[in-house]
Amino acid sequence: MSHASPPRPLSVAAAGPLRGTLTVPGDKSISHRSLMFAGLAVGESRIRGLLEGEDVLATAAAMRAMGAQVVREADGTWRVHGVGVGGLLQPQVALEMGNSGTSTRLLMGLIASHAITATFVGDASLSKRPMARVTGPLSLMGATFTTSPGNRLPLTMRGLTPAVPIEYALPVASAQVKSAILLAGLNTPGITRVIEPVPTRDHSERMLRGFGARVDVEETPHGRVISIHGEAELSPQDIDVPGDPSSAGFWMVAASIVPGSDVTIRNVLMNPTRTGLVTALRLMGASIEEVGRRDVGGEAVADLRVRHAPLTAIEVPADLAPSMIDEYPVLFVAAAFARGTTVARGAHELRVKESDRIAAMAAALALAGVRTTEHEDGLSIDGRDGDPLAGTGTARVASLLDHRIAMSMAVAGMHARDAVTIDDAAPIATSYPAFLDTARSLGAQPQWIAA
């Protein structure tokens, strides 16, 4: 986690069509929230299908450090005994967040309305990410912060009980910021309100309601107004975490670009605040068929059959950005195989993810033989009309401690003349530990190589 693990270079060369059926791990956003909300409920919740990646394990450890009992059963079910809203205990150690922005920002929200002090530390990537977007509104609620320069980690915060309810219009479209404020509102008297000008993923709203909190959502001319009624009581739940559409995105693109591919991805979350990549790929001509749409625990899920198809460049609609914010790196890979130049703008937030994903993908694609033009808020990619990429030869793509850069470029290698080599694929374990096993099960041949 924050102690740097040794880099693990990975090489991926073309190995023919991808075929087969796979399941993706549980959704990362829902997994974090399941542990946090169960940790605040009174009684025992059970969670099946939890993503057991490093980011979610950081959340589990933090909830334990603050008094929740969090146990993994041998069959993979997680049992959580919560402390009750307002019952979080003072952690005796610094909260080790590793690479996980979601753990950090949502937990800061939880702690803001508890009279406890907590220190957050993270890896080199997380320590560069902006925290003012959460320390700002949480300070208005009464929490106090001592941060590293630039409002960054490591930081120490002290929450306040009772905290002060606020009404806050989000200056950036961010589900993490929205959620941090709503979670602080859980233990705050009165009504805490967040106004989001553009809809972002709504898992916190849906799940908090499921746990018994009163959350009202109103569509207004200024955006969605989300109100949480404070001093809530949460009751334990049984949760089935649906498959992560962000993880599924790698296979959607891989099957679309590798000739002859035919892949079925089972049990993918189809919440409309998360399906922007499916929309964008379909606009490009991808063949993505939904089979057996159904409801699991209040969320739409479906199996997706994806077959190779020639792709055409598009201007990526900027209003899709919030619903595919984590999928741009792999969309850029799809664009590299399309006919024409794809233009993606209006995605400035990509600059402050686990890496600067605009600069990181421009550099990675250039190394693999793709021409791109960087914009302040996006990237234009000259597609190769189905031709394989050149590959990187002996040069290595820099993954910059960013799991999605590593996995996106691994996908690029699946249709390249020479291999694509990535300097460090260890970060894949933050969100998708089984990624390489699944790649092999579909016929790809990723290889670990010497550092």
Residues that are catalytic: 326
Backbone φ and ψ for 112, nearest 5 degrees, come out as -55, -30
To the nearest whole angstrom, how small is the minimum distance from the Cβ of residue 157 to ligand S3P? 18
Nearer Cβ to ligand S3P, position 12 or 134?
134
Q: In this structure, what is the dihedral angle of CA atoms 307, 313, 317, 320, given to the nearest 10 degrees? A: 30
CB 47 within 8 A of CB 24: no
Q: Is the dihedral of CA 346, 351, 355, 360 positive or negative?
A: positive
Nearer Cβ to ligand S3P, position 179 or 256?
179
Chain positions contacting ligand S3P, by CB under 6 A? 29, 102, 174-176, 179, 201, 325-326, 349
* Block residue for tokens 């590593």: 406
Q: Is the dihedral of CA 83, 86, 90, 96 positive or negative?
A: positive
Calpha distance 172→169 (Å, rounded): 9
To the nearest whole angstrom, how small is the minimum distance from the Cβ of residue 200 to ligand S3P? 6
Nearer Cβ to ligand S3P, position 277 or 325?
325
Calpha distance 174→196 (Å, rounded): 8
User: Among 136, 204, 141, which Cα is nearest to 170's?
Assistant: 136
Calpha distance 51→241 (Å, rounded): 8
| Structure-token pair, residue 341 | 């130049």
Calpha distance 42→319 (Å, rounded): 39
Nearer Cβ to ligand S3P, position 367 or 405?
405
Nearer Cβ to ligand S3P, position 328 or 337?
328
Number of alpha carbons in the 13 Å side-chain half-sphere of residue 256 = 33
CA angle, corner 21, sides to 19 and 22, nearest 5?
Answer: 115
Calpha distance 248→261 (Å, rounded): 15
To the nearest whole angstrom, how small is the minimum distance from the Cβ of residue 274 to ligand S3P? 10
To the nearest whole angstrom, how small is the minimum distance from the Cβ of residue 132 to ligand S3P? 13
Number of alpha carbons in the 13 Å side-chain half-sphere of residue 90 = 7
Calpha distance 142→162 (Å, rounded): 9
To the nearest whole angstrom, how small is the minimum distance from the Cβ of residue 352 to ligand S3P? 8
To the nearest whole angstrom, how small is the minimum distance from the Cβ of residue 188 to ligand S3P? 20
Q: Give the residue closest to ligand S3P by C-beta.
A: 29
Nearer Cβ to ligand S3P, position 179 or 380?
179
Calpha distance 307→385 (Å, rounded): 17
Nearer Cβ to ligand S3P, position 193 or 201?
201
Calpha distance 428→421 (Å, rounded): 14
To the nearest whole angstrom, how small is the minimum distance from the Cβ of residue 316 to ligand S3P? 17
